[in-house]
Chains A and B, each alone.
Chain A
Amino acid sequence: MGWLFPQTPLQSVEFAASDMMIRLRGAQAAPEDIVVVRDKGLSSPSPAYDRPAVAALVRQLFEAGQVRTVVLNLPPDFTTPLKLPGQPPASFDLGPACTNSAIVQQLGVDLDCPLRQVIRAYGDRMVIVTVPNQSTAPPRIEVYNHFQSFLPDAGAYTRPLQDLLGFEGFQKDSDYRIRSLQPTGSFLRGDSFVPSRNLERVQLETIFLNSAETLAYRKFTDTDSPPVKETSTNDEDNRALFIRYLGPEGTVTTVDLSQVCLPIPFSHHCAGSLRSNIRDLLRNKLVVVSVTDQDPVETPFGPIARPEAQAQALAGYFLPGFYRQLSVPWSGFLTLGMAILSGVLLTSMPTPRRWYYPLGLGLLGLGYGLLVWGCLVGLGWNLPLFFPLMAMLFTGITAGGSLTLIEAQQRAIQQKAELERLRKAERQAVLNQARKLLYRVATDIHDNQLQELKLVMDGLEYALADPKQMNHAIDEAINRLAHVGQGIRDELNDIRNVATKLEISPQLKRGLVQGLKAELQTWQDQGDLTLEVHTELAALMEPKSSDWFDAREDIFRFFREALANATRHAQPPKGIATQLWISLEVKNDQAILWVENDGTTPPNLEQGNYGTKVMKTIASQLPEGTWQRTARPGGGVKVGLSWSLAEFQKTAKAISR
């Protein structure tokens, strides 16, 4: 994403992440071959280095200090030639080569001469740093040709400009920090003057240069490494190098300017000689010199003085080299890969995702952070950190959030479906109950009232054949018809009850056991049940199916019948019972409901009434349903209903599938 939005704050975050990793690695030892010479402020006030003094400084480094290579940063005002008309004052000491009377008379006092002489003498071991002016395209550089010796006869400088000049290769990122170094580049020439008309055309051309760091390393090692073709436009050669900063300012050995050369105004000599300890420090070294107070360079380690930043960048040519970076396409692939990886890993987690979801995301992020760290420290690869992490996080949160949302929706749908199924099951159970009750009423009318009516008709028809019996027959018919009427009225009452039963018994909404308890409580609250009640109701895993709801209604009805019988016949004043025991036993798939009282044991337990008929009916309609009414040991009656739960559970499983 950074390569899509290179100037966005997101890129700054990526930079910050990269800098953090570099800082975390800590400072590393600088190569001993590199020394910085700059104004560290040891002398107060800081000495001013004019052009002859700079020449004196460089000469001191080469001659007294015996350095091998000098990288020279010149002050900004050195870009143009500086000549004074007339004879030089007596205090000027520019050296015999620069005070030749003929030249002075012809050109005046040439203050560039001492440095030109030094460059002429040591140019093969020197690099003059020129800073590109980025306001033009291509950037323009000063070529300091007034410090070059021109050979009129040859029509050329004694040394090619490309062999002396090195541009400052720092590349500024969008957050104004310097992290990379451009090894080569093409620039517009900014000649300070035209030494020959022959060169007028040349001066309009672009010039291909190595960076100061690159050129300095080549001169220091006296090799062609790094191999840079002078006119190369090859992308590979020109690819920016990611600077392996060694640490904060002061990491590279630094010597104060005044310790090398105390300047004498307008003199090509230094005041005093070089101390031996400084000489030892400088001998055979590559020295980066700055005689001007330049702005520090912003680096991952904070602001570093420009010559030291150059020195640290230069260190990249020494072991262990520059950091390597992924190209833009590969960075994109890595970011995309992390996004895909996080998506795949997180979506493959088992559901429901809870605490381990953010944990997984965190571990993945930590793992990648360690990978980046390992690559940085072990392999010198500076991999992108922020964008892959952000892509991973974004994908993870998005995928996780979406999946969580989908799961929540699915749960809601399942809950809704479950409620709907429950509602349907209850409705079906109600219908079953209503159907059974209506059938029962129809059967009762057929079995009882219709038969009775027929017998009345028979009686009357008999009487028609025997008129003597008529009065008796009519009397009996009236009695029997009254009985028929009563029976029909009872059945009609039952039908009304059916109408009121067209819903699941509210007591049973919370399950059979709760329903039994609630019903007992109701009977007690209403004063219908005055016996002392003992309950022992085992927990029942109730299947959620219409079959069970239907059966549960029947079991509940059985319970109420048994309760009604106990209160009518065993409870005072009709009976002598004092205790009532209600128990529900569940063993494997079998359940049995007992209702017992300690009243008298009736002699005709086998003969049923209408209540026992209902119990018999209910038992016959339950799976493996049986009922029994027996004498309780010690007196009383014990009524039990047993049934199998297996069939209901099987049905419920089939429905849930």
Chain B
Amino acid sequence: MEHLRFLIVEDHPEMARNNCEWLQKTYPEAHCETIENPQLVGEKLKKFTPDLVVVDLLYGQNSGEQSAEPGLNLLRYIFGEYPGLNIMVYSSEPLLLSPVSEMISRHEGGFVTVNKMDRRIRFVEGVKSALQGELKIPRELRGLIKLTDREREILELLCKDSLTDQAVADRIHTSKKTVQNSIQRLKEKMGIPLDEEETNSRVALCMEAMRKKLVSL
């Protein structure tokens, strides 16, 4: 297995170092790089394509209004230039993501937000989810997240035609893993608890889709 590569965008040096240490603790062979200035990430990505970018949202500005902008601009850049890149937002203010919620909906790579004030276990879980291409966002942002055309199509096949993951993958000519990721994203976007039993959560997904008139039988 190729060694994982992480890029930590964090303006607090000690926090960036800790982030790397926890990643390397989880993935001992992983390569971790840190960068303090989010405006330099573009140049970095041209030379170095990580498996996961851990992004802080707030940067050391003197004004709260301005502090989120560098982080949000970085996300906009990644959404535009690297639509398949896995991203984990590690911030104490994840709700500041609302201006880019539309772009999060369309992002094809993993996108996970973890509150910086949570314990490190959440950090590690978030990293794993993001690496698997999953979508995990705060509950407050779910209402702002919209379904993509591909997700609507999968929802239709899943709920109306009652196809299995493999059948759905065959129907839309993609891998089973992609379909499963899309189903996970659908659950996240529609607020279905992920810790329920798989069959029950899929039923709940379809019922929620019918309630919202996204699918009609």
Contacts and interface: CB of A to CB of B under 8 A. Distances in A.
Nearest to B64: A439
Contacts of A613: 62
Nearest to A442: B64
Contacts of A440: 62-64
Given A451-B12, A454-B15, A443 B120 contact: no
A439 B119 CA distance: 27
Given A443-B67, A455-B18, A450 B117 contact: yes
B61 A443 contact: yes
B116 interface: yes
Contacts of B12: 447, 451
A313 to B, nearest CB: 99
Contacts of A617: 62-63
B28 interface: no
A479 to B, nearest CB: 15
A446 B120 CA distance: 18
Contact of B119 (A453, A461, A616): A461
Contacts of B116: 450, 454
Chain B contact residues: helix, strand, loop or mixed: loop
Nearest to B61: A443
A457 B62 contact: no
Q: Which of A442, A443, A453, A457 has the most B CB atoms < 10 Å from its CB?
A: A443
A461 B118 CA distance: 11
B69 to A, nearest CB: 13
Given A616-B62, A620-B62, A446 B119 contact: no
Interface in A608-657: 613, 616-617, 620-621
Nearest to A457: B119
A436 B62 CA distance: 9
B149 interface: no
A458 B18 contact: yes
Contacts of B120: 457-458, 461
A559 B67 CA distance: 26
Contacts of B64: 439-440, 442-443, 446
A637 to B, nearest CB: 22
Contacts of B24: none
Nearest to B90: A454
Interface string B37-61: 0000000000000000000001011
Given A446-B67, A446-B92, A458-B18, A453 B117 contact: yes
Interface centre among B22, B62, B63, B116 (most CB of A within 10 A): B62
Interface string B77-95: 0000000000000001100
Contact of A447 (B18, B60, B65): B60
B117 to A, nearest CB: 7
B197 interface: no
A620 B65 CA distance: 14
Nearest to A450: B92
Contacts, number: 52
Q: How large is the interface on B (under 10, 10 to 19, 20 to 34, 35 or more residues)?
A: 20 to 34
A439 B66 CA distance: 10
Nearest to A459: B18
A461 B123 CA distance: 12
B198 interface: no
A616 B22 CA distance: 35
B196 interface: no
Contacts of A436: 63
Contacts of B60: 447
Contacts of B92: 446, 450, 454
A457 B60 CA distance: 21
Nearest to B63: A439
B195 interface: no
B14 interface: yes
A107 B15 CA distance: 158
A493 B82 CA distance: 45
Contact of B117 (A442, A454, A621): A454
A442 B58 CA distance: 11
A447 B60 CA distance: 6
Nearest to B59: A447
A450 B56 CA distance: 13
A450 B18 CA distance: 15
A443 B62 contact: yes
Interface string A452-482: 0111011001000100000000000000000
Kindly name the residue among A436, A439, A446, A616 whose own CB sees the greatest number of chain B CB atoms within 10 A: A446
A446 B18 contact: no
Interface in A345-365: none
A490 to B, nearest CB: 16
A482 B84 CA distance: 44
Nearest to B58: A446
A436 B65 CA distance: 9
Q: Kindly name the residue among B61, B64, B92, B119 whose own CB sees the greatest number of chain A CB atoms within 10 A.
A: B64
Interface in B107-121: 116-117, 119-120
A329 B157 CA distance: 102
Contacts of A454: 15, 18, 92, 116-117
Given A439-B64, A443-B63, A446-B67, A455 B15 contact: yes
Contacts of B119: 457, 461
Contacts of A439: 63-65
Interface string A587-625: 000000000000000000000000001001100110000
Contacts of B18: 454-455, 458
B14 to A, nearest CB: 6
Contacts of B62: 440, 443, 613, 616-617, 620
A284 B25 CA distance: 152
Instruction: Count chain B CB atoms within 10 A of each CB in A453, A457, A458, A461 and give the residue with the most.
Output: A458
B71 to A, nearest CB: 12
Interface string B156-198: 0000000000000000000000000000000000000000000
B93 to A, nearest CB: 7
Nearest to B120: A461
A465 B119 CA distance: 13
Contacts of A450: 92, 116-117
A494 to B, nearest CB: 13
Nearest to A614: B62
A448 to B, nearest CB: 10
Interface of A: 436, 439-440, 442-443, 446-447, 450-451, 453-455, 457-458, 461, 465, 613, 616-617, 620-621
30 contacts: A440-B64, A442-B64, A443-B62, A443-B63, A443-B64, A443-B67, A446-B58, A446-B64, A446-B67, A446-B93, A447-B12, A450-B92, A450-B117, A451-B12, A453-B117, A454-B18, A454-B116, A454-B117, A455-B14, A455-B15, A457-B120, A458-B18, A458-B22, A461-B119, A465-B25, A616-B62, A617-B62, A617-B63, A620-B62, A621-B63
Given A443-B63, A446-B64, A613-B62, 7 more contacts: A436-B63, A439-B65, A446-B58, A446-B93, A461-B119, A465-B25, A617-B62
Interface of B: 12, 14-15, 18, 22, 25, 58, 60-65, 67, 92-93, 116-117, 119-120
Top-8 shortest CB links A-B: A439-B64, A617-B62, A442-B64, A458-B18, A461-B120, A443-B64, A451-B12, A439-B63
